[in-house]
Amino acid sequence: MASRIGFIGLGNMGGPMAANLAKAGHTVIGFDLAEEALGRLEEAGGTRGASVAETVAQADVIVTMLPAGRHVRDIYMGAGGVLASAKPGALLIDSSTIDVDSARTVAKAAEDMGMPMVDAPVSGGVGGAAGGTLTFMVGGGDEAFAAARPFLEIMGKTIVHAGGNGTGQAAKICNNMILGISMIGVSEAFVLAEKLGLEAQKLFDISSTASGQCWSLTSYCPVPGPVPASPANRDYQPGFAAAMMLKDLKLSQEAAASSGAATPLGAQAAALYALFCNSGGAPQDFSAIVKYLRGAG
Ligand code: NAD
């Protein structure tokens, strides 16, 4: 059955996600501050809303894909925002990557007003958003998850219920903390190998079948050659930009501080990515940290 979906935040990710919902036969009304984003939605079969309030007023389902926690708090809880304007019982899905505390605060306020909500951040990047193959990590109650699932299945391929509200965001930042740390570890090993006269391909052949094996090595190798599809082979064009990795590492450190978890390597990874981004690396793929480490040595 076709639903009426209000979609707020039609950027690099939200634009193609909204287009896939429209393509699947839902009525999509979208809102963004950027005029081009609204034009692209119309081309994809959606209609433009004039404001957040107008976009969500008649919607059965509301999806948001915004830059950060402050935007999400504002759009949901601010004057004329989603909670003030949506129908009672509307299902709320926030797919932005934001801090766990904001995700829990907004979900609690929504559910107090009778609107079930899930946090459903994604991995898979703009390619996954366009192809409808994203992975969704979903935090929320069983009923809200069950209601959200058919819509997430249009935009993604793998849908995982992580637990209660906030656990989708927790899964996303824990995963990306592993990724940031492991990319630095793999990069350091390649830089050390260069200094020791060990060829990169030889290190790859050995470590990819030995105990150093990990995704940063075998799927996303930070030096050119061993994994032809990795960004190292196209001058570190992203992929996943270092600025985005830094954002996620900062979120992991905020969460570690507020929950009292010890994540000393996560803190080091955040500090290194901040140095790399400040020295001009922000728009490059996050695996370009290898160049920074080579220089720093
Ligand atoms: P983006 O900057 O391209 O899109 C964000 C959109 O939100 C913009 O179009 C902006 O105009 C709009 N926006 C901001 N404030 C608004 C407001 N008050 N009202 C209406 N619209 C508003 O960012 P993106 O790349 O689409 O990323 C969105 C989220 O997805 C982020 O949280 C990001 O961390 C996460 N994410 C991105 C990727 C990726 O590869 N790009 C991958 C995984 C997760």
Q: What is the distance between the alpha carbons of residues 93 and 9, in angstroms, rounded to a whole number?
A: 12
What is the whole-number distance in angstroms between the Cα of residue 295 and the centre of ligand 1?
A: 32
Same domain, 75 and 158: yes
Contact 55, 6 (CB under 8 A): yes
Same domain, 127 and 159: yes
Q: What is the distance between the alpha carbons of residues 78 and 75, in angstroms, rounded to a whole number?
A: 6
Active site residues: 172
**Residue 292: helix, strand or coil by DSSP?**
helix
Residue identified by tokens 């220089």 is 295
Please tell me if the CB atom of residue 50 comes closer than 6 angstroms to any atom of ligand 1. Answer: no
Same domain, 238 and 253: yes
* Residue 120 lies in domain: 4-163
What is the whole-number distance in angstroms between the Cα of residue 257 and the centre of ligand 1?
A: 25
Same domain, 144 and 180: no
Same domain, 48 and 106: yes
Residue 239's pLDDT band, with cuts at 50, 70 and 90, is confident
What is the domain-level CATH number for residue 31? 3.40.50.720
Q: What is the pLDDT of residues 243-264, one digit of tens each?
A: 999 999 999 999 999 999 999 9
Closest ligand 1 atom to 31 CA: 20
Please tell me if the CB atom of residue 204 comes closer than 6 angstroms to any atom of ligand 1. Answer: no
What is the domain-level CATH number for residue 251? 1.10.1040.10
User: What would the mean pLDDT of 106-114 be, rounded to a whole number?
Assistant: 97
Does the pLDDT of residue 13 top 60, yes or no? yes
What is the whole-number distance in angstroms between the Cα of residue 57 and the centre of ligand 1?
A: 22
> pTM of the prediction?
0.94
User: What residues contact 51, with CB distance under 8 A and at least 6 apart?
Assistant: 31, 80
- Number of domains within the chain: 2
Please tell me if the CB atom of residue 16 comes closer than 6 angstroms to any atom of ligand 1. Answer: no
